[in-house]
A and B are shown apart, each in its own frame.
Chain A
């Protein structure tokens, strides 16, 4: 792997972790990333800064025409969808930001949070659910972003497939424009000068040379699309092509260019994760990491659903994602120093990030994202819990000593060939 390829892989992995990334100074890295993305039918989209966010131009990962995955094709692993209230809230945001179907939807107009909230409540939605959608779900998904009270469409909206925008354009007149007008007939902001500037909008960054369209390449990109968009592990019977070693190699190579890797989950199926060393670099750079409250709540869930049942001999296995024991909010709030509200907020974020899931019968369990982490991260997580449960024991001492030794000698599992500065 060349330096450019590694940097491109890191760039694409960062976009996966955080939704977008600043445009690197090195043009060749952007080009290499565009080429790697093109191999899986994705394309880099440059979001030209309109001046509102003052973050500079950003890159997101969109879909080439007609390449968006079909959500109904692989029933064992449906994609991540929004709840009804979140859909309603986004429809209101979309109606406010995109008043005329003929105009380009992104970046669109700004809108006020209070207007969206009032309109949604007027339509009969639960106020708490709307607030959660406005403050957490939709911004975390990147579909909208707020700068104070003022909201705009987010980078994930710019990355939606063209087919989706086509459908939205067809139903544009059915968006709740009238509901917004009813709650704020005169306060819907008109476009500011920078929003209407010629520079604002999106620019597609195409690969310099389009790859030849072969049956193998088409299959590879289709498989990658399914794996990358599935919320959970894809059943083996849904991807019988991966039984072929040649196909697995081709998929792995395509994923590697994007900082990803193919993961086989025993007894379940296939998924994808960060390639070796990539997650460490992202974590060291602070990109996409869980915040302290989320980590604390996740630790409590892992203690109650994995560590304690396994210490009692109730379950076995080497996967964090398999747990027959669930825990409840009432159990989690028994801990000291974390309020019920803080735990609830953290769980909502952890669910969106895939680290927490719910059983159909109720109760929280480790989420499907644990299927995506590699063996070294699985082991480190186990060690963390041992250190937490007996911080002054020999085992904790040994674990700390080993990590210090690895850190100083550079012989640990971290970054092989990847450098933080590249991010």
Chain B
């Protein structure tokens, strides 16, 4: 467990730490930061203000020129046109004039040397010092010069590794290491006191390597072994340890502040995206499962929706594999002769029509059906068909009279129709009202 102060199992390579330091990308560094770094880096070499380029792309172009010479080795150097073509192939999209200006500058400053010492010879090679300068400029901008600490330690260790190490050289290297450590410690102290959160994060990235302490301790052991009793060197070794302690204290302070900022705002830019991506691919299950040991399930109880359960049941009814014949209709019950049934049905229909017309007559011998038929087309069809059927039946005492004139009313539900009258011909009713009495007539010949 992390609480036990034991590092989680790391399935990555032992060189992972070193890769961390070298794995920073340009994108993490602001242009201003790089410009400030280069100005400080070049200050010992320049005589006036403004000698350092402000645009990092100019430095990148110089690095790209080195790549062009590596990709297109020529026995007699390259022309500006060939260099430009190579730059285009590398994806450089600067304007032609800008590239020419930059190449002319590199030539004037000796970065590009004429292959032959002739004026306007026009073919160039790179001076190795220029190559080193370009690479160093890139490195110092990426890591803020922290690489130099490692380099100095390596050089000192190398000086101690020869059969008979020169105490003067070793002392010089030890002092160089101490000076560098002290300068970095002071810079960190300033950043902790006055720096912004972004600056501290940047410092935290650059100095977040723990092997440095071990390397300084190893170096001190080497010094003690080779120069036991050599007071100057032993003192230098001790001073180096003290400087490392000071540096380490400042690193801790900076990282403590970064952690305080980071954990409150979930700032993940304290590391590079690459480091998280590597962890997502390369970390083993054991390392991954060290995260979130204290998370406890906090899910609400399931809401059992009975209606949804019934819907699910209905949705999962068994599926039929073929067409199913519909159910056979029930067998007819024992009935009378079908013709008798038919006659009975016809009688029933006639009876319904009769009752309907009787209702319209309302006890009178004659009625005007026009108003009733005007209520709707459906009613008109129904009334007319029933009345015509009764009129056609010689056994029925009804006569239907349809006038020749036509009544047209655009706004009425039945927009046009002939005035129609239904007359009872058996005269079984006698009414006192004049209209009914006048219209009551015996069944006569049809006028249709």
Bound Cα distance A82, B325 (Å)? 37
B18: nearest chain-A partner, CB-CB = A392
A382 & B252 in contact (Cβ 8 Å cutoff): no
Would you call the interface of chain B mostly helix, strand, loop, or mixed? helix
Chain B residues in 8 Å Cβ range of A400: 2, 5-7
Question: Which of A319, A369, A394 sits near B298, CB closer than 8 Å?
Answer: A369
Whether B17 and A392, one on each chain, are in contact in the complex, defined by CB atoms closer than 8 angstroms, is yes
Shortest CB–CB separation between residue A182 and chain B, in angstroms? 9
Interface positions, chain A 136-168, Cβ under 8 Å from B, are 141-143, 156, 159-160, 164, 167-168
A301 to B347, CA, bound (A): 84
Q: How far is the CB of B334 from chain A (nearest CB, A)?
A: 37
User: Nearest Cβ in chain B — how far from A354, in angstroms?
Assistant: 4
Are B302 and A393 in touch, CB under 8 angstroms? no
**Is the Cβ of B269 less than 8 Å from the Cβ of A143?**
no
Check if B120 is an interface residue, CB within 8 A of chain A: no
Judge if B277 is at the interface, Cβ distance under 8 Å.
Answer: yes
> By the criterion CB–CB under 8 Å, are B268 and A310 in contact?
yes
Interface residues of A in 365-423 (CB under 8 A from B): 369, 372-373, 377-401, 403-404, 407
A295 touches B255 (CB 8 A): no
Question: Which residues, 286 to 311 on B, are CB-close (under 8 Å) to A?
Answer: 286-306, 308-311
In the complex, B356 has a CB within 8 A of chain A? no
Docked complex Cα distance between A347 and B101 (Å): 58
Residues in A306-320 with C-beta less than 8 Å from chain B? 306-308, 310-313, 317-320
Tell me whether A311 and B305 are in contact (CB under 8 A): no
Contact present for A71 and B303 (CB under 8 Å): yes
User: Are B300 and A378 in contact (CB-based, < 8 A)?
Assistant: no
Q: Measured between alpha carbons, how far is A412 from B2 in the docked complex, in Å?
A: 14
Interface residue stretch chosen among B207-215, B222-230, B401-409: B207-215
Q: How far is the CB of B8 from chain A (nearest CB, A)?
A: 6
Question: Does residue B312 face the partner (Cβ distance < 8 Å to A)?
Answer: yes
Chain B contacts of A181 at CB under 8 A? none
In the complex, are the beta carbons of A295 and B300 less than 8 A apart?
no
Q: Is the CB of A290 within 8 A of B292?
A: yes
- A80 engages B208 (CB within 8 Å): no
Given contacts A87-B312, A176-B313, A389-B278, contact A79 B266 (CB under 8 A): no
Instruction: Flag if B275 contacts A81 (CB, 8 Å).
Output: no
A297 to B283, CA, bound (A): 12
**B348 neighbours in A (Cβ, 8 Å):** none
| Chain B residue with the shortest CB-CB distance to A232 | B300
Contact B273 A395 (CB under 8 A): no
CA distance A175 to B314 in the complex (A): 10
A93–chain B nearest beta-carbon distance, Å: 11
Measured between beta carbons, the chain B residues less than 8 angstroms from A393 are 17, 20, 208-210
Q: In the docked arrangement, what's the CA distance between A295 and B262, Å?
A: 22
Q: Are A311 and B271 also in contact (CB < 8 A) when A283-B293, A394-B255, A403-B2 are? A: yes
In the bound assembly, the distance between CA atoms of A300 and B207 in angstroms comes to: 27
Question: Residues 1-21 of chain B: 1 if any A CB is under 8 Å from the residue's CB, otherwise 0?
Answer: 011111110110000110010
Q: How far is the CA of A399 from the CA of B255 in the complex (A)?
A: 10
- Supposing A88-B316, A337-B285 touch, asked if A404 and B296 sit within 8 A by C-beta, the answer is no
Q: Tell me whether A372 and B298 are in contact (CB under 8 A).
A: yes
* Structural contact, A377 and B295, CB atoms closer than 8 A: yes
A80 touches B299 (CB 8 A): yes
Q: Contact at B3–A335, with CB atoms within 8 Å?
A: no
Partner of A295, one of B207, B273, B292: B292
Q: In the complex, which residue of chain A has the Cβ closest to the Cβ of B267? A: A310
**A334 contacts the other chain (CB 8 A):** yes
A311-B309 in contact given A296-B288, A383-B263, A404-B3 (Cβ < 8 Å): no
The answer to whether A303 and B279 touch across the interface, beta carbons within 8 angstroms, is yes
* Surface stretch bound by B, among A21-29, A119-127, A215-223: A119-127
Q: What is the chain A residue whose CB lies nearest that of B269?
A: A311
Question: Shortest CB–CB separation between residue A115 and chain B, in angstroms?
Answer: 16
Contact digits for A322-343, partner B, Cβ 8 Å, 1 yes 0 no: 0000000000001111100000
Residues of A within 8 A of B304 (CB): 82, 90, 143, 160, 164
**A174–B313 touching, CB < 8 Å:** yes
Residues of B within 8 A of A174 (CB): 310, 313
Q: How far is the CA of A300 from the CA of B277 in the complex (A)?
A: 10
Cβ of A84 under 8 Å from chain B: yes
Contacts of A396 in B (CB 8 A): 7
Looking at the assembled complex, report how far the CB atom of B148 sits from the nearest CB atom of chain A, in whole angstroms. Answer: 18
Asked whether A383 lies within 8 Å of B259 as measured between CB atoms, the reply is yes
| Range of interface residues on B (Cβ < 8 Å) | 35 or more
Please tell me which one of the listed residues A295, A317, A392 contacts residue B7 in the complex, with CB atoms under 8 A apart.
Answer: A392
Q: Is B276 engaged at the interface, CB distance under 8 Å to the other chain?
A: yes
- Is A288 on the interface with B (CB-CB < 8 A)? yes
Complex alpha-carbon distance, A387 and B2, angstroms = 9
Expressed in whole angstroms, the Cα–Cα distance for A397 and B2 within the complex equals 10
Residues of B within 8 A of A338 (CB): 285, 288
Q: Which of B17, B296, B319 has its CB near the most chain A CB atoms (within 10 A)?
A: B296
* Residue on B nearest A89 in the bound complex, by CB: B312
Question: Across the interface, do B280 and A392 meet the contact criterion of CB distance under 8 Å?
Answer: no
**Residues A308 and B289 in contact in the complex (CB < 8 Å), given A318-B266, A403-B2:** no
Bound Cα distance A398, B255 (Å): 8
Interface contact A307-B276, CB-CB below 8 Å: yes
Interface assignment of B87: CB less than 8 Å from any CB of chain A = no
Contact A394 B289 (CB under 8 A): no
Specify the chain B residue showing the minimal Cβ separation from A407: B3
- B270 x A386 contact (CB < 8 A): yes
Q: Within 8 Å CB of B210, what residues of A?
A: 392-394, 397
Closest partner residue, chain B, to A79 (CB atom) = B303
A382's partner among B3, B262, B319 (CB-CB below 8 A) is B262
Please tell me if A110 contacts chain B, counting CB pairs below 8 Å: no
CB distance from A309 to the nearest CB of B (A): 8
> At the interface, yes or no: A59 with Cβ under 8 Å from chain B?
no
Write the chain A residue with the least CB distance to B271.
A389
Assuming the A-B contacts A84-B312, A87-B309, are A354 and B258 also in contact, with contact meaning beta carbons closer than 8 angstroms in the complex? no
Cβ of B284 within 8 Å of any chain A Cβ, yes or no, is: yes
Complex contacts, A87 vs chain B, CB 8 Å: 305, 308-309, 311-313
Per the bound structure, the CA–CA distance linking A228 and B318 in Å amounts to 38
Inter-subunit contact B268/A311 (CB<8 Å): yes
In the complex, 30 of the A-B residue pairs with CB atoms within 8 angstroms, ordered by the A residue number, are A88-B309, A90-B304, A123-B316, A141-B301, A168-B306, A174-B310, A231-B299, A231-B300, A280-B294, A287-B296, A289-B297, A293-B289, A296-B288, A298-B295, A300-B280, A308-B273, A310-B266, A311-B273, A335-B281, A336-B282, A354-B297, A381-B291, A381-B295, A382-B263, A388-B279, A392-B16, A392-B17, A392-B20, A393-B20, A398-B255
Leading 4 A-B pairs by shortest Cβ distance: A79-B303, A296-B288, A379-B263, A292-B289
12 further A-B pairs in the complex, CB-CB below 8 A; given A143-B302, A274-B298: A123-B318, A273-B298, A279-B294, A290-B295, A308-B277, A337-B284, A378-B266, A384-B290, A384-B291, A386-B259, A393-B20, A404-B4
Partner-A contacts on B (CB < 8 A)? 2-8, 10-11, 16-17, 20, 204, 207-211, 251-252, 255-256, 258-259, 262-273, 275-306, 308-313, 315-319
